[in-house]
Amino acid sequence: MATPPGDQSKTSDRLPAVDRSTQRPSPSDRTSGSVRSGMNSFSSTNETGVRVEGKTVLATLAGVPRVSIADVVYPHQLDTAHPPKETRVIALFDLKNVSNRPIRWSASQTSFIGSDAYTYSSSALSLDPGKLGPGCHTRSVSIEPGRKARIATLVEKLPPDVEIVEAVHTVGARRNGTLDRLHFRL
């Protein structure tokens, strides 16, 4: 039974809270998620994240739930090639710039390793930030020194029974010595 609009006692239209501990999620938690039909929300049962500290950024992969694309992308992207019932994995990152200069986090610089050992990219589908809540970025974000950001990255369609086991993100620039390759092992 769906919760009536405006009743926030059982659901939220915001991303799940993130516990910034270094404890890793169990395999059953890392890709689980629930989508609430008819609502602009999703949640992950993963209450811990995988935390990685680089030269420029402290990053937590807060979860990789599987969600209905109808709940996270723009409606005009739903068609026969991408039916509303299709599900995808979405990666939720919490970031803090620990450097003394602005950094840019771009979803296109994130790759995902599946349980089949193949590499997958971010999806060409565009996430609708209005469906994710205030402060959640979807493609790219510039983060000032000492500041935080949250970004969601939709993963390309995975083969059946494949789960994400690792995410790799490159941030910074080789030319000024701030290149970071962050490895999140789930």
Interval 71-83 mean pLDDT: 92
Q: Which of 150, 130, 124, 171 lies closest to 63, judged by CA?
A: 150
- This prediction has a pTM of 0.74
Q: Collect contacts of 31-36 with beta carbons under 8 A, ≥24 apart.
A: 31/64, 31/65, 31/66, 31/89, 31/163, 31/164, 32/65, 32/66, 33/63, 33/65, 33/66, 33/67, 33/90, 34/65, 35/67, 35/68, 35/71, 35/87, 36/2, 36/3, 36/11, 36/71
Please tell me which residue, 107 or 179, carries the higher pLDDT value: 107
C-beta of residue 44 within 8 angstroms of C-beta of residue 15 = no
With tokens 């039916």, the residue in question is: 83
Q: How confident is the model at residue 33 (pLDDT cuts 50, 70, 90)?
A: very low
Task: Please state the domain extents for the chain.
Answer: 27-185
C-beta of residue 153 within 8 angstroms of C-beta of residue 124 = no
Q: How confident is the model at residue 173 (pLDDT cuts 50, 70, 90)?
A: low
The pLDDT, as a whole number, for residue 172 is 79
Could you confirm whether domain 27-185 is CATH 3.30.70.270?
no
pLDDT in tens, 119-154: 999 999 999 999 998 889 999 999 999 999 999 999
How many angstroms separate the CA atoms of 59 and 175, rounded?
A: 22
